[in-house]
DNA sequence: GCCAACGTTGGC
DNA sequence: GCCAACGTTGGC
């Protein structure tokens, strides 16, 4: 089983938005970075779990857990000229961008803040803590996943 | 709003 | 293929 961290700006899509979504499921739209795209397209598997992370906000951090319920398929938002994620270079015959579907599994009552993560030596190598890191989809090791589950029961 | 860090673009 | 310029991200 693989573990991931998915970043979202709560102003654009928050965990509350996911909680209100039909079946609490969403397509993880709008990833427009090739490295992140490759993870979505090639690595994320059915049943994998991911931290839902809020970025670019007052209190950045992990706000919940989601599960992958559908593996990669083309990102329809790239085909929509009215979407902020529109990319004319992505076509249905040669899609450039992909999504997975995720379902809300658990919403933390209290977020695990970025500052919390930083204060734990065991998490020092987490990709999300790396300086200058800009990936919006990133791997989490099973050790990191387990550690976070054990230390923050929320 | 600042700014460091990084990705992307495009001229050559 | 190099690399400068530019745009974006994201924490603070």
Q: Is residue A38 over pLDDT 90?
A: yes
Q: Which nucleotides of B are covered by protein (CB under 7 A)?
A: 4-8
Query: Could you identify the residue written with the tokens 């994320």?
Result: A44
Q: Which of A80, A97, A82 is nearest to A36 (CA)?
A: A97
Please check whether strand C approaches the CB of A114 to within 7 Å.
yes
Entry pTM: 0.94
Tell me the percentage of chain A whose pLDDT exceeds 70: 100
**Nucleotide nearest to A114 in CA–C1' terms:** C11
pLDDT per residue over A104-117, tens digit each? 999 999 999 999 99
Nearest to A45 by CA among A149, A139, A143, A151: A139
Output the pLDDT for position A131: 86
Query: Does the CA dihedral A105-A110-A116-A121 come out positive or negative?
Result: negative
Question: Could you tell me the distance in Å between the CA of residue A36 and the C1' of nucleotide B11?
Answer: 28
- Nucleotide with C1' nearest the A33 CA: B7
């Amino acid at each position: 089983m693989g573990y991931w961290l998915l970043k979202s700006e709560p102003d654009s899509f928050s965990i509350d938005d996911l909680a209100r979504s039909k079946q609490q499921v969403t397509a993880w739209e709008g990833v427009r970075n090739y490295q992140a795209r490759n993870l979505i397209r090639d690595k994320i598997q059915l049943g994998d779990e991911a931290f839902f992370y809020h970025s670019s906000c007052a209190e950045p951090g992990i706000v919940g857990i989601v599960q992958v319920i559908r593996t990669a398929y083309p990102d329809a938002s790239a085909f929509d000229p009215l979407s902020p994620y529109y990319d004319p270079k992505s076509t249905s015959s040669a899609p450039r961008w992909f999504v997975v579907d995720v379902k809300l599994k658990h919403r933390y009552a209290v977020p695990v803040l970025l500052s919390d993560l930083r204060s734990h030596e065991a998490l020092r190598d987490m990709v999300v803590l790396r300086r200058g890191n800009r990936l919006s989809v990133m791997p989490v090791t099973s050790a990191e996943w387990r550690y976070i589950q054990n230390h923050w029961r929320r």
